[in-house]
Amino acid sequence: AEHTETITLRATANSNENDEDYDGLIVFKNFVEQASNGAIAVEMFIGTQLCSNGAECMQGVADGAIDIYVSTSGGTSGIFPFVQVLDLPYLMANDRVAEGVLENGTEFVTTMQDMVEETSGGAIKLMTIGNTGGWRNFANTQRRIETPADLEGLKIRTVVADLPQELTRALGASPTPIPWPELFTSLQTGVVEGSKNGITDIMGMKFPDAGLQYLTLDGHAYMGALWFMNGERFNGLTDDQKRIVVDGFYQLQQATFASPKRKSIDAYQAFQEGGGDLYVPTPEQKQMFADAAAPVYDWFTQNVDGGKAVYDAMTATVEKVEAEIAAQREATIQ
């Protein structure tokens, strides 16, 4: 047999081994290593050993120190401001719609990929968009939130990015930047009174122990996970290897879609067993949240570079996917 040198892809995620990112990477590694018969190896660095935030890690991806990196929209909005489209509230109704919209090849994903390619001058490729942690919900230490009025005056921790802050403000709460490692203590002592996170992060960080006992499933944002790869590295692969890597990312995406659903069952149960108050807003109440958040759409399309284009692509794709899903449903019911 001819001897070829093993290609080692260095992948990193700034999370931990309980995270969906890890589940996805494990599946990717397993798939790629088997499908390539060992010609491609994947070396995983989970945590912050190589780099510790979006700007730093993306620079590593751009110059080839890191081959594969996963980021939330917040981590890369400093260079790709348009990715904040994923943080726009209430655009995608549920997991099924989101998974359809984020499928590679839709108008939305293609637009995102083109914009990443263009902004980075080809240095970085957006390989796929998966999920990390389900949906963002409002949680707080003070009271049950049924309508936006209940959020009035609450200090809600957000990352320092424009859109989450605009949204929090639009809903009447006070956005408060607190570094993630200080969030537990800050909730506990009352420096902030709430946060917007997915349930698995809430439980993983033991926030209920810090008093975070009221959770409203408003599902305001899908926690998209953007998987990037160094462009040169990808282009240097043979066509067969490229196919394997692309398929690997498909497998990865599917794993990250599934993983939070399974994990959140236990997480929600643990949350309620610990005395947590879980509230599901009625459709009317959910509409009230969406109405209150409306100014954010205008803000996004007017102030963010590329915002209009990516917003249009997103809404068009959502419409198309919803129609497809409805048609499928009907076909099955018949």
Partner 1 sequence: MRVLKGLLWPFQTWNDLVLPVGRIVSIVAIALMVAAILVQVFFRYVLNNALPWPDEAARFMMLWMTGLMAPMAYRRGGFVAIDTILVLLPRVLAAALSLVLLAIAAVVLGFAVRIGWSEVTGFGGRFATASLYLPLPDGWYRIPRSWMMASLLVGVVLMLIVNIELILRNILTLLGAEDLKEIAPAEEEIMAE
Partner 2 sequence: MLIWFLPVFLIFLVLGLPVFFGLLAAPGILLWMAGQERDITLLYRNVYNGMDSFPLMAIPFFMLAGELMNKGGITARLVEFSQALMGHLRGGLAHVNVLSSMLFAGLSGSAVADTSALGSMLIPAMERQGYTRKFAAAITAASSVIGPIIPPSGIMIIYAYVMGESVAALFLAGIVPGALVGVGLMIVIKFMADKYDFPVASRKSTWAERGQASLKAFFPLLTPVIIMGGILLGIFTPTEAAAVAVAYALFIGLFVMRTLKFSEIGEVLSRSATTSAVVLLLVGAAMAFKTVVSLSHAPEIMADYILSLSENPLILLFLINLLLFAVGMFLDAGPAIIILGPILGPIFVDLGVDPIHFAIIMSVNLTVGLATPPMGLVLFVASSVSGERVEAISRAILPFLAVEVLVIFLITYIPALSMTIPRLTGFAN
* Sequence-ordered list of residues with C-beta below 8 angstroms from that of 260, at least 6 positions apart, any chain: 20, 131, 132, 133, 134, 198, 200
Question: Is 96 buried (19+), middle (13-18) or exposed (0-12) by CB count in 10 A?
Answer: middle
Residue 52 interacting with partner 2 (CB under 8 A): yes
**Rounded Cα distance, 189 and 172, in Å:** 22
Of 106-114, 119-127, 137-145, 291-299, which segment contacts partner 1 by CB under 8 A? Answer: 119-127
302 makes contact, choosing from partner 1, partner 2, none, with CB < 5 to 8 Å by partner type, with none
CB of 311 to partner 2, least distance (A): 32
Quick check: 24 and 259 in contact, CB under 8 A? yes
- Cα separation, 51 vs 180, whole angstroms: 16
CA distances from 17 to 13, 212, 259, 325 (A): 10, 24, 13, 34
Select from 73-81, 140-148, 270-278, 320-328 the region that touches partner 1 (CB under 8 A): 73-81
CA pair distance 305, 155, nearest whole angstrom: 29
324 lies in the site for partner 2, by CB under 8 A? no
Backbone angles phi, psi at 42, to 5 degrees: -120, 120
Of 56-64, 72-80, 118-126, 245-253, the segment contacting partner 2 by CB under 8 A is 56-64
- Per rule CB under 8 A, is residue 276 in the interface with partner 2? no
Window of 75-83, 96-104, 215-223, 257-265 that interacts with partner 1 by CB under 8 A: 75-83
Is residue 235 a contact point for partner 2 (CB under 8 A)? no
For residues 16 to 55, the per-residue mask of contacts with partner 1, x marking binding by CB under 8 A and - elsewhere, is --------------------------------------xx
Q: Cα separation of 100 and 322, whole Å? A: 9
Residues that bind partner 1 (CB under 8 A): 54-56, 58-59, 62-63, 78-79, 81, 120, 123-124, 153, 155, 159-161, 165, 174-177, 179, 191
